[in-house]
Each structure stands twice: as C-alpha cells, then as structure tokens.
Amino acid sequence: MPNTRDPDRPDPDALLALAAREGRGRLKVFLGAAPGVGKTHEMLAEARRRLAGGADVLAGIIETHGRAETIAQVGDLPILPRARLEHRGQVLEEFDLDAALARRPQILLLDELAHSNAPGSRHPKRWQDVEELRDAGIEVWTTMNVQHLESLSDAVARIAGIRVAETVPDAVLAGADAVELIDIPPAELLERMRQGKIYRPDQAARAMRGFFREGNLAALREMALRRTAERVDADVTGYMRANAIAGPWPAGDRVLALVGADASAETVVRQGRRIADALRAPLVVLHVERPGTLDATDPTPILRMAEALGAEVETVAATDLPSTILAQARARNASHIVIGRGQPGFGRRWLGRTLSATLARRATDFTLHIVPGPAGKARAVPTAPAALPRWLGWCAVPATIALVVTLGYGAEGLLPERTLGMVFLAVVVALAALLGPWHAAAGAALGFLSWNFFFLEPRYTFELFDGADLVGLGAFAAVALLLAGTTGRLGRSVRTARARMLALRRLVEFSRRLGGPGGLPDLLPAVAEEATRVAGAPSAVVMPLEPLLPGAAPEPVVRAAMPVTMELDETAMAAARWALAQSRPAGRDTDTLPTAAWQFRPMRTARGVVGLVGVKLDDRAEPLAGETDKALTALLDQAAVAIERAQLMEREARGAARAETEQLRTALLTSLGHDLRTPLTSIRGALGTLRASGDALSADTRADLLLAAEEETARLSRYLSNILDMVRIEHGQVEPRREAVNIPEALEVAVGRARRATGREIAVTAGERLPEPRLDPALLDQILGNVLDNALKFSEAPVRVAARREGHEVAIAVEDDGPGIPAGDLHRVFDPFFRVTRTDRVAAGTGLGLAICRGLAHAMGGRIAAESPIRPAGGGTRITLRFPA
C-alpha cells in the first residue's frame, strides 16, 4: 500500500520499534572478525568495571579456551554454576537457563552467541536462551564472530572454503541495543597466533595454513566493519525518524533512486545500484503514485527487479512530485538522488518546470544524478489498452465540432447565437471524458473559433461586435480549458477506480467460493477456473507429490486444469519442478526457462509453498502486467491460504479417523479371534483325525482331510498377511518404488491369476492409448487382487473390469452384480475390520482387504471410492481406483 506518512511528524514505525524495546532486557554484542581478536577479553574488562561501580554482574558462560589473559580477566566476577545434562552415558555441562532466570542479575555475560546447546536443553541454540532472558527483563552481554551471521554463511564458505555450521539469524543482531566492534589488524592477529596466545603451537600452525590466512582475515574484517557501519546507519536513521528530524545528516551515504512507469526506469535502477556499490551505501528505490493519473505502464516489474538487486523499495502516493521526493530523501537520510531525464513536453522545458530542473533548484542539500534515457531502441513495456486508436481520436475532434456547427445552422432562429456556447462547452466536457484532456483542449480551441466565426456578429469573420462578445468568448475559453483538464483527469480516475473495483469484487467473490465447504477436489478446479478468468489464458494447478527418498525434491503433479484437456510438456514440467524447489516464479517472462510456454507462480504460506499456479502465455503478445498481474497475485495469496486450510482439515480428519481406528481395533480384535480360531480348529481337527484313525481311513478320506487342512492353512496365511499389511500401512512403513506401469498388462496379470484361482469369468475393457502412471507394480497388483477377490466373493455373476482416462487421472473400475452396499455403509467399506452384513450369508474374511487397498493407493498418490447401487433395479457395486496420469 502506498505510504502517505507526514514527514514533519515522527514515524509511527520508528516509535513502535522503540516501544517494543521497552520492558525487554538490553542486548549488547561484542562483534569480531575472527576468533582471538579479544571479544571475550573486552567484555570481561567492561564487566569488571561495571561490577566495581556497584552493578550486579553475573558470568553465565565464559569460554576461556585455556587462554591465560582471558582467565585473568575473569577475576572476581561471580560465576553461575553450570547445569549437568546426561546424554548417551556422558555428563555434559551447559548454561543453566532456569538458574539465571531465578537469580535475575542486572547484567548477565553469555559468551559465544552462536553456540549450539547440549541435547536435553530447553532451546537448541544459545541465542534462543538470550531471547528468553531479554523477555524476562535481564540485560545480556554476549560475543560473536561475523562469520556466524546467517546471511554471510555462503560468502564465508566461498572466501575461506569452510561452511560455518553454527549460525545466528540476522534479526538477532539487528535487534541488539548496542553493537561494539572489537577489531585488530590481520597482521597483529597472526602475530598473536604465532605467540600461542590463541591456540597451542601445533593447532596454530594448522590454523594459519587454513582459516587464518591473511587474505581470509582481511575479508572477514571488511565484513565486520561493513555490518557494524550498516547497524550504525540504521540507528541514525531510526533516531531521525522517531524525532522527526529532517535530513540529510552527513553521517554516511545513502542513495535514493526515483522510478516511474516509463522505459528509463530500468536504467535508473541499474545506475542507482552502481552508484550505491561504488559508495558502499544502501539503495532505496522510490515510486510515487499520483492520484487522478493513469500510468501508461505498470511499475511492478521494475520494483521487483530493484528488490532482486538488493534495494529497499518504497511506494508513496502524492500529487506534488518534487516535494515528495525531497521529503522522502530527508526522511531516509539520503545523500544522493538518482532520477531519469525523461521526455517532458516543450512547454515544461521552456518554462523550466521539468522534474530535473525543479530538483536542481530545490535539492541543494543533495547530490543529484540525472540518468540519460536507454540507448538504442527502448525495451517494449506493456501499455494499457486504449479505447480508440490515437489517430481516430484526433479525427473525432473536428468531426464533432463540425456536427455541432451543422446542428447550430439547423437550429438557427430557435436558439440565440450566444447560447450556442453552452452547446460547445458540453461537447468539450464529452471529449474530455471520452478521449482525454488534450483532445478536449483541441476541441475547446476549435469550438471557440467556430462559435466566433459562424455564429457571432459580424459572421464569417473573427471580429467581435461589442465588448460583451469579448467577455463571453474569454469566459468560454477559460471554462472550456478548465473543464477539459478537470473532466479528463476525472474520467481517467473513474476508469481506474472502476477497474480496481471490479477486480476487488471478483476477489471477494472468489474468496467466498474458497471459504465454502469442500476439500481439495472441489477447491483446486475453482482456483484453475479463476486463474484462467483473470489471466485470459489456460491455467493449471500443480501440487507437490511427496518424494520417495529423504532429501529428494518433490515431484509436481497436475491436479486441476482449465480446460480439463490441457497438458504440460516436458519444458513446462521442468519449469514447474524448479519453481517448486526454489519457491520462485519460473517459465515464460521470467529469468528461469523463459522459452517455456507456461509461467508458474508459487502459492506461499507461512509453512512454505503449497503448490503452483501455471498460466500458458505462449499465445499472448504481452506479459502479465498492471491490474491483471496484481489480481493474479491476490488470487495466489487467497488460494494458498484456502489450500493450506483444506490440507490442515484433511490431516485433522485423518488424525481423528486414526484415533477412532485405534479404539475400534481394540474392540474388534476380540471378534477377530473367531475368524482365526475357525481355520485353526479345522486344521487341528483334520490332523487329530489323521493321527488317531489314519490307518483305518480310506485314501479318499485322508486326501479330503489333508486338502481341508491345506485350504484352511492358506486361509489363515491370508488373514495374517492382511493384518501385517494393515499394520505396515498405518505406521507409514510402505515406501513405493515408482516406475511407468502399463495398465492393460497389469490388469491381465491380476485378472488371469483370479481366473485360475476361482474359475470365474472376468471381462476386461481397456481404453486406447492409456498413459503409463508412475506406480509401484507390486503394490498395484496387490490392490487389484484384493478388489477382484472382494467382487468375486459377493457376486455369482461375471465381474467386469474397465480402465480409462479421466482428465489428468487414470481410472480403473471393478464392477459386480452382487447385492450391493447399503447407502449408510458406503463411507465405511474402506475402514479396517468392517464387513457388510446385508444378507444372511457372511463371506469369510477379516474385513481388511479394501482397507489395505485404500492405504496402498494413498501411498502412491491415488484414491479409491465405492459406488452402489449401479443397476437401475438396485444392487451391484463399483470400486474405482484413480491415479495421477
């Protein structure tokens, strides 16, 4: 939102920052470039001085590393006993946070802010202990090396070849009340190293060959000096804002670059970045929106580019451009202002009213840099579509005046000549509202001359009859020009407001749709439909599929598209993978894979990226910009929150179902004993009969008993296998291995095995050119076997199996003509241990087959559903499996 803060009043954000520190303990950081520069030594020396002055100082943790100078500096400082923690049979000593909170000293010393606490501590990092201590109102002094800053870890790794494992968030240092730089030259530090004042001689020799090289130390020293300077600059700026002090203060350099919605904006940003780098100064990019004007181009891409270059971006709304620029420059304590030369009109150049000339007169406290326009042909910038071609608008002006003159001749005698001026004024207002102020100004001049020439005495001359005519024409000219400018600006403002109101109304309607009941299957098509409507191009919603291997990147899967037949090629999928892995836009009109036909934008929440929205832009002549880009960005934010809410609801539902299943399992295991006891009883009876009367039995009888024992053993084995599979699924131990699966071949294998086992007829129908989804063939075969066994168990008629493509999914349906499933039990058929008891005949089984199917299907990213009845007369069941294509 544009910033409209009054520069003559204290900045509310600065005052809030000061208020937030009230009630918290102070934090002082002794910052150094490398170990051994004397951070701990200086902290202890300052602490002893404060202790001598009567302050309550307590040493919480002091890491002396055996250095004699540091040990001597501890002196008579009271030391907090360390906490003892047991870990893997060892006793570790660590900072005692609870004891420090109970002791509540005035100043607490905690060495090595980046330290990782021992396992079993309340917080994993020492800086988190510091935050809790500050919340309790305790002032903390600590030490830290600059290479431990989180934002500098990559730079330190490139310089020193060593990646720092323990880091501190930059916000911790930024939130410190005081930062004291402890600095010594690299040559002096290396001399201390050689004298053994930092490490033992053998360790010092290794360190000087590795991390402690003079070039490394010089680079780290520069980092520490620059970070301290940035902190001091932030303190100065914050003080000026909180006290409404007008800048600039000559304490340091800061560059302010002004960008507008024109072709030179990119050049201004890049030149401002070069100036800031040369001065080692921060860069602020400012864009001023002027109410009542409609920019020909959208500044959003330029502002995004500025953020990518490391600049701070600020947008304000104002009508007086020079005053606003100077006020923002003073509020930001800027010393350099960078602007583009622009293309002002002849009148403004002649009168000296150009922006550069005005700032040159008024910006006497600043260094002004005027950047020339881009060399060669300017980069094409998308413009707002005009209602009429430019040449047609200018042709309409004389045509309209000619029509009024014709109508005036037709109404001659009916209207006094002097009243025709009102008609010309009405035409001027219409031209201003429809075409703009310049067309209206031309119409006012042409109408002024036409009224004088054709209707005022003496007619057909430009002479005036009396003084009243002169006054009337003068008033007409003044009013016409005023109306031209005012109405033109008002017309543009109305059009802009109407476009934004329509976009807001559409966003509200979409938010209402997202807030309605329904899960992801209902939500994702709505997101794709709205994205297509906003962008005016085909859209798709891509969701991440959890990786099979730890640390692997998630695989993107198209879950919804508009139109539904839209498919993504390999280049588009590569862009989607990159956007999902990096949480940044990719594809057409971006810096990554710009040749792709699709552009993918992430949907972000506080938990991370929940998915992508892709827009096919290969058929568009212009990239997404202006109100379209803003509307699509708002849609992504709304959709991300709605998707996260739906996912959280699904997880909660699964957790509730799992808890209910646990309770149900305990109750049903008792009844399960009957199903296990039956085959055991049959086996024991057959074996007992064979042992007692085996010789007296006929060969056929012995064969029947052995066959019965064998069948019951196989039945018992299936029961136990199902139970073990269910346990593995519910404990997340199923890890599918994915490969392309030929669906018709998989069906033939599973159906052939079922035919041989039962001798029943099974009809198979497979669509042509079915895609090959990436599934686990063994798990798919187990699912098909269980579903076919369930269908054959409850139906005497032939079973039918069909495979087809449904949008972005492959569907496999298994139908039977059995008694069907009651409507009240459809939602329970996939629950463990559930069996339908609609008829007197209860099929043998544990009620785990379909539950196993559901678990295995979910593990491979698919879903399973049951339908009944499927016949007009009632009865019949259809089990449908769906997997991403």
Within 10 A of 878 (CB to CB), how many other CB atoms are there? 18
> Alpha helices of 694-742 — where are they, by DSSP H?
699-730
Residue that wins the pLDDT comparison between 838 and 70: 70
pLDDT exceeds cutoff 80 at 441: no
Q: What is the mean pLDDT of residues 433-458?
A: 72
Banded pLDDT at 107 (limits 50, 70, 90): very high
Sign for the CA dihedral angle at 54, 55, 59, 64 comes to negative
Q: How far is CA 820 from CA 64, 635, 853, in A?
A: 79, 44, 19
Do residues 216 and 160 make contact, with C-beta atoms less than 8 angstroms apart?
yes
* CA atoms of 362 and 533, how far apart (whole Å): 48
Closest CA to 515 of 638, 371, 659: 638
Question: Cβ-count burial of 662 within 10 angstroms (0-12 exposed, 13-18 middle, 19+ buried)?
Answer: exposed
pLDDT exceeds cutoff 80 at 369: yes
Do residues 236 and 253 make contact, with C-beta atoms less than 8 angstroms apart?
no
Strand pairing class (555-562; 283-289): unpaired
SS3 state of residue 684: helix
Residue that wins the pLDDT comparison between 246 and 680: 680
Question: Cβ-count burial of 734 within 10 angstroms (0-12 exposed, 13-18 middle, 19+ buried)?
Answer: middle
Q: In the beta sheet, which residues pair with residue 257?
A: 285, 338
* CA atoms of 98 and 133, how far apart (whole Å): 10
The reply to whether omega before 250 is within 30° of 0 (cis) is: no
Q: What is the mean pLDDT of residues 143-166?
A: 76
* CA atoms of 432 and 826, how far apart (whole Å): 67
Within 10 A of 876 (CB to CB), how many other CB atoms are there? 21
Do residues 883 and 860 make contact, with C-beta atoms less than 8 angstroms apart?
yes
Banded pLDDT at 614 (limits 50, 70, 90): very high
* CA atoms of 772 and 810, how far apart (whole Å): 9
Structure confidence by residue, pLDDT tens digits, 667-715: 455 545 555 666 677 777 777 777 777 777 777 777 777 777 776 676 6
Structure confidence by residue, pLDDT tens digits, 158-205: 666 677 778 888 778 878 888 888 888 887 877 777 776 776 666 666
Q: How far is CA 812 from CA 798, 802, 863, in A?
A: 17, 6, 11
Structure confidence by residue, pLDDT tens digits, 464-491: 555 555 665 566 666 666 665 565 556 5
pLDDT the model gives residue 581 = 83
Token pair belonging to 802: 């069909």
Banded pLDDT at 4 (limits 50, 70, 90): very low
pLDDT exceeds cutoff 60 at 8: no
pLDDT exceeds cutoff 90 at 791: no
pLDDT the model gives residue 600 = 92
* CA atoms of 286 and 306, how far apart (whole Å): 10
The residues, any chain, with a CB within 8 Å of residue 379's CB and separated by 6 or more, are 263, 266
pLDDT the model gives residue 634 = 80
pLDDT the model gives residue 58 = 92
DSSP string, 167-223: -B-HHHHHT-SEEEEE---HHHHHHHHHTTSSS-HHHHHHHHHTTT-HHHHHHHHHH
Quote the pTM value: 0.36
